[in-house]
Amino acid sequence: MRRLIFLTQAVDPAHPALAATIPKIRALAARVDEVVVLAQSADDAELPENVDVRTFGASTRPGRLLQFERELVRALPGDAVVAHMIPVYVLLAAPLVRPRRIPLLLWYTHWKASAQLRAAERLATAIVSVDRRSFPLDSAKVRPIGHGIDVSEFACTDRSEHDRVRALVLGRYSPAKGIETILHAAREVDGVELELHGAALNALERRHRDELARLGVPLGDAVPRVEVPALFARSDLLVNNMEAGAPDKVVYEAAAACLPVLASNPVFDDLFAGYPLFFERDSADSLAQRLRWFAALGTSERAEIGRTLRERVAKSHSVDTWADGVLAAAA
């Protein structure tokens, strides 16, 4: 493939949620002659020479839409266009892309099915997602390709046994994350020390963070991406209670760092196969049982779980397998 056009919100290595897009762009660039990235905003990021980043930011929404259309016209033609997580990019790009018979892909992994997403599904050539269950609509266009984790960012750590289980909750302070259930479960189990970090990027998340703070637990701020591997290294366990249908990226990142995970989302069945790492969504009692089970494990048993999870991420959810999947869906 000669030229790929990639549509995304931000190219920013410091962004708490979107920095992980950068390794995906690098992986695509290693497989094509040129990648043209259209982003609403961009900051300093080390990208290959064959990546051209152009921005369409403006002070008003109509201004951004107009600038988006201008930059897309400048970027075309291309061999494929990939919209990253934002269905409206497909709606805006389709009138310019589909008449040229250029494949138009949407990468999307979330539990919410909006009217925009339904329209984008009809206009896209293909939908790429982690799993068929991670796209909220029943569509024959869905191609499951894994999550796209840069495994090289994370290393296994020898975790010696501690008096307390250092359990980590990492992610945005969204109601969809089910954090309150995790807090109640941890209080029921002796010997569990909970550490929370996350961003509150909109009004809903800020309100929810305030609600959680009233429960009397320390809430950490977002951790810069470069510090996440060290955070994993000092933890014994990641706990994730994300709404079903959205396989949280942090689960795969923790697994890539050989950090065992407890989660409620059934979409992790292949990742967790053979280990009792699931708990019932929004059930503090179910999670408390899993925490007691994990606390009783020895260091070698925990390490075995971590190594297996890393191997599975490398095999099916790496940034390289993700990029291969995108290009196969665009072919």
Which residue ranges form the domains of the chain, and what is each CATH number? 3-144 (3.40.50.2000), 152-316 (3.40.50.2000)
Q: What is the average pLDDT value for the chain, to the nearest integer?
A: 94
State how far the Cα of 112 lies from the Cα of 52, in Å rounded to an integer: 31
Task: Inform me whether the pLDDT recorded for 276 exceeds 80.
Answer: yes
Whole-number CA gyration radius for the chain: 20
Q: Which of 104, 151, 117 is nearest to 310 (CA)?
A: 151
Out of 47-56, 58-67, 91-100, 228-237, least confident range:
58-67
Q: How confident is the model at residue 162 (pLDDT cuts 50, 70, 90)?
A: confident
pLDDT the model gives residue 216:
86
Task: Inform me whether the pLDDT recorded for 139 exceeds 80.
Answer: yes
State how far the Cα of 99 lies from the Cα of 90, in Å rounded to an integer: 13
| Token representation of residue 74 | 């400048």
pLDDT tens digits along 9-34: 999 988 877 888 999 999 999 999 99
68 and 38 in contact (C-beta within 8 Å)? yes
pLDDT tens digits along 113-122: 899 999 999 9
pLDDT the model gives residue 259:
98
Task: Inform me whether the pLDDT recorded for 152 exceeds 90.
Answer: yes
Average pLDDT of 262-278? 97
Exposed, middle or buried by CB within 10 Å (0-12, 13-18, 19+), for 46? exposed
pLDDT the model gives residue 248:
92
pLDDT tens digits along 89-108: 999 999 999 999 999 999 99
pLDDT the model gives residue 52:
97
